Amino acid sequence: MKRKHNILLILCILIMALISFSNAQDYTYSLEAKGSYTTSSKVFLHPEAADLFLRGKYLMLENIYGVGIDIRRKVDNSYLRIGFSIEYLEKTENYPATKTQDGFLAIPVELTGFFYIPITGKSFDIYMGAGVGLYFGERRYTFYNVKAKVVEKKAGAGIHVQSGVDYNFYERFALRTQVKFRDLQFQSTNQFTNPGDRQLDLKPFTSQINIDGMTLELGLVYYF
């Protein structure tokens, strides 16, 4: 008798688990809050220089972290979805030898088309995607504690590709992990306007930020 009760209990647990693993395909929208890690980026110091060597000179910045949101809509009767995302990335490094602090903030805004691979099972969804983006941001540069003010910003445009997996762990919730490759770039013009007692060049200087490293993302998804 005890064995039968145990078997019945196990069956009930399995049935409840199957019910709770609701397929994400049953919902039209998904909303994700996510964090990201990007391996590397470059700050080109003289992007408008006539000299090819000078134009290619850059400062490497690694290990960029960010946060963002992503909303996707299912295309009716298909494995396709359309997504819109916005992120906030920030990176700053201190260089004691030169008494400088250098970095940037970036705001990628991207539109993506997704194809969800039709596989058996309700717990996992695998997808691939590609799209376009607009990239806003600015360089943050300080020399001897004197900040170079941002006087002009120029947004950039680019493309990206990505793939990922959704793990539908409970009813309307899922964990999402994905990898993304993109060519994110924009320009920032800075100027020292209040140098104090420092002898600084007061002419504006333009930089180009290029965030082209691999991006890894992890997020929590809600379906509705």
Q: How many Å separate Cα 201 from the centre of its chain? A: 35
Report the half-sphere exposure of 70 (CA within 13 A, side-chain side).
26
Residue 13: per-residue pLDDT: 44
Identify the bridge partners of residue 69 per DSSP, sorted by sequence position: 33, 86
Q: Any residues with CB less than 8 A from the CB of 52 and at least 6 apart, and which? A: none
What is the token pair recorded at 96?
Answer: 């004691």
Domains of the chain listed by start with CATH number: 2-223 (2.40.160.20)
Residue 30: per-residue pLDDT: 97
Chain position carrying tokens 């409840």: 16
What pTM value is reported for the model? 0.84
- What's the Cα-to-Cα distance from 167 to each of 22, 28, 41, 122, 163, rounded to whole Å? 11, 17, 30, 9, 14
Instruction: For the chain of 224 residues, list the mean pLDDT of each consecutive stretch of 10.
Output: 50 43 70 98 94 93 98 95 98 93 98 90 90 98 92 97 95 96 96 78 94 97 96
